[in-house]
Amino acid sequence: MDISPGPLMLVVSVVLIISFFFVMLVMQYKRCPSNRVLVVYGKIAGARAARCIHGGGTFVVPLMQSYAYMSLEPMTIDIELQSALSKKNIRVNVPSTFTIGISTIPEIMNNAAERLLGLDDVAIAHQARDIILGQMRLVIATLSIEEINQDREKFLDLVNKNVNFELNKIGLEMINVNIRDITDESGYIEALGRKAASEAVNQAKVEVAAADREGSIGSATAQREMDVEVAEQNSQSATGQKQAERNQRIEVAKLEAEGVAGEASAQRSKEVAVAEQTALSREGQKKAEAHQRVEIAELEAAAIKGENESKAKMADYNAQLSEREAEAKRRGEVAMANAERDVLLAQKDEEIALLEKQQVAQQVVERTKVEIDAEAEAERRRRIAAGEADAVLMRFTAEAEGTRKLLEAKAEGYKALMAVCEDRKDLAPALLIIEQLPELIREQVKAIQNLQIDKITVWDSGDSSGSGDSTTAGFLKGMIGALPPVHELARQAGIELPDILGKVAEIEPSSPVGSAPPLASAGTAPDGTGSDQANA
């Protein structure tokens, strides 16, 4: 069965169209990596200008939508903040390093799509640096030096809140902040460090002196206890030795007494036997008795001598024991006195160091305070002078600008006036004079408005010239006529007034009948006599 070319081409066309749409669908489906944000812009549903996607993918409608990527990689910005004014008007240097990046929170991502799309990392870092510098100065201005230097947690918390709030407005968020070191131009922080180090050194010295004192006291106490124990042991040893010698002497004396008693019994038996045997034995008996008494006396003397020697030795031992005890007590008291002296010396050194620390610290604080006050006063005067100079400059600039604009407006007005007058260029000065007539009249009135006239007395004797005017009326007429006429002013200015304002008629000389008589001078009557005048 043959297939005609028409249906075959139709099938091929349908297949090609379907393939084309399938390929387009595949190509227009955009996937978003984890380290990027996919921004779809163009025709977006709702009132949003763009749609941000983090992770996943979406279909980008051809011709109606387009797409771009924003990197989520962190950016490190070094902030060299110099001379930031703290709460106590002390300028500090706070170098720091901020790590920022585009946020993945939907609302903040939309801000980044609206304000950062298409910018490179350098431009983004430049904008973030300006925001961070401003907020850092603002935070430092609300804190004192002690709070910035010691309470770092509070300082970093305020930095996080303020900086993050402002960075979120352009789609960024702060990842980390590292404050490297805080210094000041006046040396206040260094003075605080020296003060803390001095206090720590002084406290260590006090603790070392206390430990040395306790060690000396403990050593002296141990030495004293050792001496007492040695003396007690020596005393107990000498006492035991004396008791053993005494017991020995008692036993020896008992044995000697028993021997003497036995000898006496034997001698008595012998004497009885001798007395019974022979009388010749008496002499031997007497000799034996004498010899016996001598021996007994010698033995008794030896016993007494031994007892006396034992007593002397015991006394010597007791004396030596007392001396040793006294020596041990003396050494203990000397050691105690030395320990107390060392304690007093240590206390004296401690009090001297404390006094020096207080005086030096007070002087340093006063000097620092004077320097801070002087710098604050100088800064205040500089700012006042700068403000006054700026105000004067702005005032003169504004006056110059106003004068320039006024002159430009007048020039435009004069140009328009000359254009209206066309060929009648002489009308322009007349119109300007007409515009200024109220001001000219006002100035002429000012010529007599400040005259302090309480009362004017005029002696009037009637009309002697026949003109019909009294002398008083002539005086007032002459005073009013003394004011420069408007036409005369215009003539003196070289300006010809328009005809509508009239002309000044030339007065022909007339006969004396129609003319007013000349005014009499002030204070003179018509008849030439003097008159009284009340002055103001």
Q: Tens digit of pLDDT per residue, the chain (536 long)?
A: 455 667 778 887 888 888 877 777 777 788 888 888 989 888 887 777 788 888 888 888 888 888 888 888 899 999 888 888 888 788 888 899 999 999 888 888 888 888 888 888 889 999 999 999 999 899 988 888 888 877 788 888 888 889 989 999 999 999 998 888 788 776 776 666 677 677 777 777 777 777 777 877 878 788 878 888 887 888 787 887 888 888 888 888 788 777 777 777 777 777 766 667 776 766 767 777 887 888 888 888 887 888 788 788 888 878 888 888 888 888 888 888 888 888 888 888 888 888 777 777 788 888 888 888 888 888 888 889 888 888 888 888 888 888 888 888 888 887 777 777 777 767 777 777 777 777 777 777 776 666 666 666 655 555 555 555 556 566 555 555 544 566 666 666 666 666 655 565 555 544 444 444 443 333 334 344 433 433 32
Residues 64, 145: one domain? no
Residues 133, 245: one domain? no
Last residue of one domain, picked from the residues 163, 185, 207: 185
Half-sphere exposure of 309 (CA within 13 A, CB side): 8
Using CB atoms within 10 A of its CB, is residue 90 exposed (0-12), middle (13-18) or buried (19+)?
Answer: buried
What integer pLDDT is reported at residue 100 of this predicted model? 92
Residues 141, 229: one domain? no
Count the neighbouring beta carbons within 10 Å of the beta carbon of residue 429: 17
What integer pLDDT is reported at residue 488 of this predicted model? 67
Residues with Cβ within 8 Å of 191's Cβ and at least 6 positions away in sequence, in order, are 364, 368
What integer pLDDT is reported at residue 470 of this predicted model? 58
Residues 64, 78: one domain? no
What stretch of H or E contains 234? helix 188-277
Residues 39, 121: one domain? no
Residues 105, 245: one domain? no
Smallest Cα–Cα separation from 212: which of 355, 356, 349?
Answer: 349
400 falls within a domain: no
394 falls within a domain: no
CA dihedral 38, 39, 44, 45 (to 10 degrees): 50
What integer pLDDT is reported at residue 473 of this predicted model? 61
**Structural contact between residues 96 and 81, judged by C-beta atoms closer than 8 angstroms:** yes
5 falls within a domain: no
4 falls within a domain: no
Q: Which long-range contacts (CB under 8 A, 24 or more apart) does 354-357 make?
A: 354/202, 357/198, 357/199, 357/202
CATH number at residue 174: 3.30.479.30
- One-letter amino acid for residue 494 of the chain: G
- How far is residue 513's CA from residue 478's CA, in Å, rounded to a whole number? 18
Last residue of one domain, picked from the residues 72, 105, 139: 72
Residues 429, 535: one domain? yes
Residues with Cβ within 8 Å of 346's Cβ and at least 6 positions away in sequence, in order, are 209, 210, 212, 213
Is the pTM above the cut of 0.95?
A: no
Residues 63, 78: one domain? no
Residues 212, 175: one domain? no
The number of angstroms, rounded, from the C-alpha of 437 to the middle of its chain's C-alpha atoms is 68
Residues 84, 175: one domain? yes
Last residue of one domain, picked from the residues 364, 391, 411: 364
Q: What share of the chain is helix, strand, coil (3-state, %, to 5)?
A: 65, 10, 25
CA dihedral 36, 40, 46, 48 (to 10 degrees): 60
What integer pLDDT is reported at residue 463 of this predicted model? 54
Tokens representing residue 365 in the block: 């604080």
279 falls within a domain: yes
Residues 266, 244: one domain? yes
**Number of domain units in the chain:** 4
Residues 284, 341: one domain? yes
Q: Give the length of the chain.
A: 536
403 falls within a domain: no
> Which domain, by its residues, includes 132?
74-185
95 falls within a domain: yes
396 falls within a domain: no
